[in-house]
Amino acid sequence: MLFGEKDTVLFIGDSISDYERARPVGEGLFNAWGTSYVANASALLSCMYPELHLRLINMGVSGNTVRDLAERWESDVLAHKPDWVSVLIGINDVWRQFDSPQMPETHVLPDEYRKTYAKLIEDTLPSVKGMILMTPYFMEPNREDPMRKCMDAYGCMVKELADTYGCTFVDLQAAWDRLFEHMHPCHIAWDRIHPNQIGCMYIAKQFLAAVGADRA
């Protein structure tokens, strides 16, 4: 398992991480982690490895793109001095290109996405034990769908960044493809983006597998 005793693990991303987490910081009492995959992964880690006394923080913000993450990285990530940072970002970077095509100022195109993401990694790795990078996704099995094709391209960039910088990689799009061999995406998310509790737990399971959390 990647995490050690008293490590701080900080999750950051968009609405997929947010899910009504506490403000200003998503940690502590009264369901402060919210109800996303972050809450599921954090609860399971706390139960599976109680002796580690992990500190788990959710800093997801609904609607964020990698551009937004860059603006709040110092206050919402580095200021917490995490040992590990898990990032799930890119859905809105792609989605705005399709649901708001008339608003190009909201679009984060591939070059900006890659450069901004790389800068965040470079700014963070010197002060942490490691980073976990998760691909953005679209719950569309048809790989020729325009938004799915675009999302796949952004996911490939995340894989390339993980390989380049030696980060742990989680391919969520591939995981959804495996799940949807057995069920329709509508069973998980009506908009093919925001998962229900089954989907949140599924994401959490991909995360736990990637970090080597394998206790019963």
130-134 β-sheet, strand order: 55-58, 8-13, 84-88, 130-134, 168-170
Residue 215 has pLDDT above 90, yes or no: no
Active site residue 191: yes
Mean pLDDT over all residues of the chain? 97
Strand pairing partners for 208? none
What domains, with CATH codes, occur in the chain?
8-211 (3.40.50.1110)
8 Å CB contact between 185 and 192: yes
Q: Tell me the pLDDT tens digit for each residue of 12-59.
A: 999 999 999 999 999 999 999 999 999 999 999 999 999 999 999 999
Q: Which of 7, 15, 123, 177 is catalytic?
A: 15
Q: Which of 75, 127, 163, 191 is catalytic?
A: 191
- Structure confidence at residue 67 (pLDDT): 98
Residue 206 has pLDDT above 80, yes or no: yes
Active site residue 76: no
User: Any idea of the CA torsion for 50, 88, 198, 150, to the nearest 10 degrees?
Assistant: -160
Question: Given pLDDT bands bounded at 50, 70 and 90, which one contains residue 136?
Answer: very high
Say if strands 168-170 and 84-88 run parallel, antiparallel, or are unpaired: unpaired
Q: Which of 68, 76, 194, 214 is catalytic?
A: 194
